[in-house]
Amino acid sequence: MLPCVVASPAFYGSRKELAGMILDHISNWRKNVAQEGFRKAFEYLEGLKGKLPADKRIEIDGSRVYALPMTSQGKGRTAARLETHRKYIDIQYIMSGTDTMGWKAAAGCKTIAEPYNEARDIEFFTDKPDTYFDVSPGVFVVFFPEDGHAPLAGNGEVVKVVVKIGV
pLDDT value, residue 102: 98
pLDDT band of residue 5 (cuts 50, 70, 90) is very low
How far apart are alpha carbons 147 and 90 in whole angstroms?
A: 10
Is a pLDDT exceeding 60 seen at residue 131?
Answer: yes
1 within a domain of the structure (yes/no): no
Q: What is the mean pLDDT of residues 140-160?
A: 97
pLDDT value, residue 120: 97
Q: Spell out the residues 6+ positions from residue 1 whose beta carbon is closer than 8 angstroms to its own.
A: 25, 27, 28
- The CATH code of the domain that includes 139 is 2.60.120.370
pLDDT band of residue 28 (cuts 50, 70, 90) is confident
Residues in the chain: 167
Counted domains in the chain: 1
142 within a domain of the structure (yes/no): yes
74 within a domain of the structure (yes/no): yes
pLDDT value, residue 133: 97
Q: For residue 50, what are the domain limits? A: 9-166
13 within a domain of the structure (yes/no): yes
pLDDT value, residue 34: 65
121 within a domain of the structure (yes/no): yes
Q: Using an 8 Å Cβ cutoff, are 28 and 1 in contact?
A: yes
pLDDT value, residue 51: 86
Is a pLDDT exceeding 90 seen at residue 50?
Answer: no
2 within a domain of the structure (yes/no): no
Average pLDDT across the chain, whole number: 88
Q: Using an 8 Å Cβ cutoff, are 35 and 53 in contact?
A: no
3 within a domain of the structure (yes/no): no
Query: Nearest-CA neighbor of 89 among 35, 128, 44?
Result: 35
Q: What is the mean pLDDT of residues 100-118?
A: 98
How far apart are alpha carbons 104 and 123 in whole angstroms?
A: 14
How far apart are alpha carbons 52 and 54 in whole angstroms?
A: 7
End-to-end C-alpha distance for the chain, whole angstroms: 29
pLDDT value, residue 2: 40
Lowest mean pLDDT across 1-5, 24-28, 127-131, 132-136: 1-5
Is a pLDDT exceeding 80 seen at residue 37?
Answer: yes
Lowest mean pLDDT across 6-10, 11-15, 29-33, 56-60: 11-15
101 within a domain of the structure (yes/no): yes
